């Protein structure tokens, strides 16, 4: 009874920490800046994110997670410890119980790496949860019933699609196409079609401000600063929402194709449930304008975005244990 229960959404782009009784208490970018000469960590989270693309040679700002899995164990461990201490702080009470989510397609070795990282921060009990299950709980779905629900969680590094019934995954797929790929698609498009090179942060700003997965009723545009590919000099250009729609066509098509493949493997009874209940979108990547409309047009099934898509996985991760205990 003397414990602190937390849920961690260990995302490629963002780490969120949920504490039972307090909700989501921390949202920070999954970025660490360190000095490559001394290996000393200089900044973690938002402070480190502001350094991306603006550091001298000896300082490197990196993401220690790639496509939802740990690519640099030591740095991930330090980042996780920093975020948990920052989130829990003086509210830490007794032993620490940690629930942490992973993409549905990870291997046992990758799961073990996440579990070990959680134990190094002082956890006494660790539960590893698949992202779609956590997303469904966080979106307010009752996963304990014998009824099919489809959740599409679009994060920074992976898109996880799952059909859930009776508290478990019936059919699932995980593809390494998500929010980061939207940013990279814009960068490639502008270099190829406008002969302008932009940074990752600028690409993300374009995505958030005018990015479109589906044709908007009215075109919108924004001015973007970059570097001319031929001249190497600073250059300002106008980018329209139609151009972002064209840039996003490849990654959004891959997500729609993955959804359709999951449907092909879904038992008929559960498919009928999904046709009635609709497809639920979660994750930061699901906030791309027009994604609901695109998926609905391609599948013919009503598509909805969760009320709080960015925090759904973190909330569901924190509530997972009590939901499963209720089932038992």
Mention every residue, 6+ apart, whose C-beta is less than 8 A from residue 227.
Answer: 196, 197, 198, 233, 234, 235
Cβ–Cβ < 8 Å for 279, 295: yes
pTM as predicted: 0.90
Quote the pLDDT of residue 54: 79
Contact 182, 251 (CB under 8 A): yes
* Spatial CB neighbours of 217, under 8 Å, sequence gap ≥ 6: none
Give the bridge partners for 237, in sequence order.
224
Distance of alpha carbon 129 from alpha carbon 315, whole angstroms = 12
d(CA 59, CA 33): 7
User: Can you give the pLDDT at residue 103?
Assistant: 87
- Residue 90, pLDDT score: 62
The pLDDT value recorded for residue 51 is 86
Nearest-10 Cα torsion for 233, 236, 241, 247: 0
Contacts of 65 (CB under 8 A, 6+ apart): 10, 11, 12, 30, 71, 76, 157
- Which residues of the chain fall short of a pLDDT of 50? none
């Amino acid at each position: 009874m003397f414990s602190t229960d937390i849920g961690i959404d260990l995302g490629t782009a963002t780490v969120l920490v949920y504490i039972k009784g307090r909700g989501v208490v921390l949202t920070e970018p999954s970025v660490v800046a360190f000095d490559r000469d001394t290996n000393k960590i200089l900044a973690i989270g938002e402070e480190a994110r502001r350094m991306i693309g603006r550091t001298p040679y000896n300082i490197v700002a990196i993401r220690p997670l790639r496509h939802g899995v740990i690519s640099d164990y030591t740095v991930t461990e330090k980042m996780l410890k920093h975020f948990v201490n920052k989130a829990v702080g003086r509210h830490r009470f007794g032993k620490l119980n940690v629930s942490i989510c992973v993409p549905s397609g990870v291997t046992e070795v990758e799961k073990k790496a996440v579990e070990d990282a959680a134990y190094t921060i002082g956890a006494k009990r660790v539960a590893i949860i698949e992202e779609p299950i956590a997303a469904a709980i966080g979106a307010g779905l009752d996963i304990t019933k014998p009824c099919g629900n489809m959740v599409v969680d679009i994060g920074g590094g992976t898109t996880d699609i799952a059909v859930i019934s009776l508290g478990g995954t019936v059919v699932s797929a995980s593809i390494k196409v998500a929010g980061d790929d939207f940013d990279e698609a814009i960068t490639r498009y502008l270099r190829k079609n406008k002969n302008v090179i932009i940074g990752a942060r600028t690409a993300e700003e374009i995505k958030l401000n005018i990015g479109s997965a589906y044709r908007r009723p009215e075109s919108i545009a924004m001015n973007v600063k970059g570097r001319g590919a031929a001249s190497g000099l600073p250059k300002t250009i106008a980018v329209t929402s139609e151009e972002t729609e064209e840039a996003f066509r490849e990654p959004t098509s891959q997500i729609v194709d993955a959804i359709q493949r999951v449907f092909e493997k879904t038992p008929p009874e559960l498919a009928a449930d999904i046709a009635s209940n609709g497809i639920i979108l979660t994750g930061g990547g699901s906030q791309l304008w027009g994604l609901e409309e695109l998926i609905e047009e391609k599948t013919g099934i009503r598509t909805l975005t969760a009320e709080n898509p960015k925090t759904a996985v973190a909330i569901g991760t924190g509530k997972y244990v009590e939901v499963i205990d209720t089932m038992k």
